Amino acid sequence: MERVLVAFEDPGNTRRISEVLESEGAARCLRCRSADQVKRLAYKQGLRAVICGFKLADQPAGELFFDLPDRCGMLVVARRSQLEMLPSADILRLPIPFTRRELTDAVEFLLDGYRRTEPSLRPRRGPEEKALVEAAKGLLMAREGLTEEEAHRALQQRSMESGLRMETLARQLTQQTK
């Protein structure tokens, strides 16, 4: 049985999803609460699937997706309105409410290679996007007296609230000051 990462802000959701997947024999689950934990485990243990909510405490799922290894697929479990805001068609979606069967089918689909295997097909943050995010963080640090970590979190929060990718928001912030 393959291992998957299950990560929700609410530990009760993490536990319930994990219990369903394990009791149905769909996967063995590693439980996380933060995007940082997900990234570390996905890279360190070579995992191929993440099941998570629309946002975690430290990063929205749409942003986390681009920070995962190429081999790692993502299933986001959330309200339909939230799922429509996800930035990539490569993210598998499961609207709530759902049945046990729908959950296990989605995870099996994910593990069977839903994601494209060619890394070149998966959009990643390039040097230009990273530079934009860094410039926007610098602006927030100077303008609002934030630390780098606080500025990064502020960008993430604004990104979630606006439904814009971080790079898009960063571009808007840097263009406003020109």
CA 32 to chain centre: 12
148 and 97 in a single domain? The answer is no
CB 132 within 8 A of CB 167: yes
Give yes or no: residues 116 and 56 share one domain: yes
pTM for the model stands at: 0.65
pLDDT of res. 88: 82
Domain coverage including residue 161: 127-176
Same domain, 136 and 64: no
Q: What is the pLDDT of residues 119-133, one digit of tens each?
A: 433 445 567 777 888
Dist CA 156 CA 35 (whole Å): 12
Compute the distance between CA of residue 47 and CA of residue 3 in angstroms, rounded to an integer.
7
Question: How many domains, in total, are found in the chain?
Answer: 2
User: How far apart are alpha carbons 164 and 39 in whole angstroms?
Assistant: 21
Q: What is the CATH number of the domain that holds 34?
A: 3.40.50.2300
Residues 20-78 pLDDT 10s: 999 999 899 999 999 999 999 998 988 889 999 999 989 999 999 988 888 889 999 99
| DSSP summary character for residue 57 | T
Query: Do residues 28 and 3 make contact, with C-beta atoms less than 8 angstroms apart?
Result: yes
Q: Is the pLDDT of residue 148 over 70?
A: yes
- 97 and 169 together in one domain: no
Q: For residue 134, what pLDDT is reported?
A: 86
